[in-house]
Amino acid sequence: MAWPRRNGGGAVFDGDGIRVLQQVATPGLDAVAQLFTYLGSEYFYMLVLPFVYWCLDRRRGHQLAFLFLASMWLNGFLKDLANLPRPSALFDGVRVLVRETSPGFPSGHAQGAMTLFGYLWLEYRVRWWRAVAPALIALIAFSRPYLGVHYLGDTLGGLAIGAAVVAAFRWGFRRGLGGAWPRRRKRVATVVVPLLLLPLYGESVAYQTLGFLMGFLAGDLDAFAAFPLRTPAPARVAIARWVVGMAGFAALYALHGALIPNGLPELPGYALLGLWVTAGAPWCFHRLGLADPSARTAAAGSPAAGPGDAPAGAGPAGSEGADPDGLPGASGRPMRGGGPAGGRPAQRLGRLALGLLAAAVVGSVLARPPVPREAFGPMAGPSPDRPLPLVIAHRGGDRRPENTLASFRYAAALGADWVELDVHRIADGALVVLHDETVDRTTDGSGDVHAMTLEQVKALDAGYRWTPDGGRTYPYRGRGLRIPTLEEVLAALPRQRLLIELKDDDPRLAEDVARTLREHGATRRVMVASFHDRTLRHFRAVAPEVPTSLASGEALRFVVAQRLGLTPFLRPPGVALQVPEYHGPLKVFAAGLVRLAHDRGLEVHAWTVNDPRKMEQLFLAGADGIVTDRPDLALAVRSHLFGPPGAGGAADAGRAPAGGRRPRPGLHPDPGSVGSTAFAPVGAVRDRASSR
């Protein structure tokens, strides 16, 4: 199939700029680009930021950590807001050497590099550093389009936003914004602001950045006074500090990943990690004799440490600054035994640590345990390593008249994993397959279908209004195509898996569908859905053996809970969450939703997606299935990304083959040339969602 290339955005937002960079590609340059792209990853910054704080300059480390974490939260928010796709081998014809699943604009690597190295470039006016820092920024930023991860526009946007963040921070810092706040107001802000920002987007990076920010800033309100450090530290002391500090950080990070569930409990968990950097590690340094007690005297009278408390570059070299409230960081009294400064600051830090630990423990205890993958519903199938996300043919697809046996057979012959259909209960109790409440849009008749008998419905031509060419031709008129009953669909497609939507808010519809499924032995190959909470609840009561999705109200409550991080405390009644990508201007589908839904045993299906470019983006973002009017296109996109069913499975699904591209799949336009398909259920493969 010839896929259209993206155009209209100039070289910065299509593949042209990337192809220019990749013209000089060699294996050696590939390796260099991989190295520099790692230097822009969160793991590298986890190593660098504590080193600056513990060993190089504590005051600047405080400012840099605040600036960097705020910038990365902003980057994630803008990604979620813009929701632009990344470069595609299929649609842009470029090599994609690194696959990431978050939206593309702005580049987190470019923005992060500009934020961190740009700040350090302004702070350290050493000639060699003035040359090295811009080179690092450029190499990290432009390694991304070279590797096919970002468009040039994503990279340039990230650089511009990073520069603006640094400029805004320094402007506010020099004017002392927030520096005169009382300690209590600062303490409240460090907790309340992250909680208010958390619902704005629900990706995992939000919990990381806001949690770190909460713990880091809250700890720094007292850590400068409680546990002063002499910086810059001598080389041996610096190495010892970094090794000790990172060992503790790594241990806490591992415990966090093993014990704390996804969702709201992550926030105090990550805050404890931030508190370790500001207070826990410095406390250890004092106990181990790595703090240099002379720091207490040197710190007294030096400029304030918090953002906005002193102009950049103020304070004598080697001083760590004063308490963020403007109080001196030391009393001038010598410390005994190399221990930390005692008194109220240390006590406040201890209470803060206990409070965060209690919040993380209580949240973890109250959270329901994650549902193992093998316990998922029938969409995923019984195996935990199903290789492919689902293609669900909406009403059978739009290549044939919708909700007819012709469209269902076409979708089945193409290889659609599931076929979606809609069911109404009409006047004489028959169950007919039709989407609308009236027959006007799809047939040669008119009127409310609920007022008709089956005989009247069967007299209508279900192919009368279908046209493939905008009304020039109507190839299915007069060919005997009728509105089918649910019984006819079950009999005509005995092996096809079906997603059945109950269209009416009517408990009798739920009862009749349950009875019909049992009569045809179809309860194990269907899933039932409905927008009506009452109808779906009644169906679950009369047919508990049949899996269901979440109804409209249930899905809304889950999405709201996901934004608030409260899903660990829920037990959803269904096995699938089926949502649009957007509800009006509000974004619903996101990788963060998938992450928390999986913990609750829910697959996440996006509807109704007909743009191939959007299909690719949603597949990569972690969609377990896509409901589409174009199953032919969805199957082709899926085959390009993950290979055909059985060709490598989950082990190969998260990476591109050698050369960065798969052969472009062909697509047969007619079901007669495709042959039959074994309709085993398949689930989704996950790439680890990345925010970079």
Q: Among all residues, which ones are annotated catalytic?
A: 394, 435
What letter does residue 279 receive in the DSSP assignment?
Answer: I
**How far apart are the C-alpha atoms of 241 and 235, rounded to whole Å?**
10
Query: How open is the CA angle 634-639-645, to the nearest 5 degrees?
Result: 110
Q: How far is CA 544 from CA 499, 502, 503, 536, 540, in A?
A: 16, 16, 19, 11, 5
| Burial (CB count <10 Å: 0-12, 13-18, 19+), residue 286 | buried
Residue 157 CA from chain centroid, whole number: 20
Q: Are 351 and 357 in contact (CB under 8 A)?
A: no
Which two three-digit tokens encode residue 40? 């822009």
Q: Are 404 and 638 in contact (CB under 8 A)?
A: no
C-alpha closest to that of 109 among 70, 77, 138? 138
Residues facing 380 on adjacent strands: none
Radius of gyration of the chain (CA): 30
Pairing mode, strands 582-583 and 526-530: unpaired
| Helices marked H in 480-566 | 486-492, 507-519, 533-542, 552-564
| Burial (CB count <10 Å: 0-12, 13-18, 19+), residue 523 | middle
Q: Are 320 and 295 in contact (CB under 8 A)?
A: yes
**How far apart are the C-alpha atoms of 577 and 554, rounded to whole Å?**
9
Residues facing 392 on adjacent strands: 418, 627
**How far apart are the C-alpha atoms of 36 and 411, rounded to whole Å?**
45
Please say whether the dihedral angle defined by the alpha carbons of residues 177, 181, 187 and 189, taken in this order, is positive or negative.
negative
Q: Are 476 and 398 in contact (CB under 8 A)?
A: no
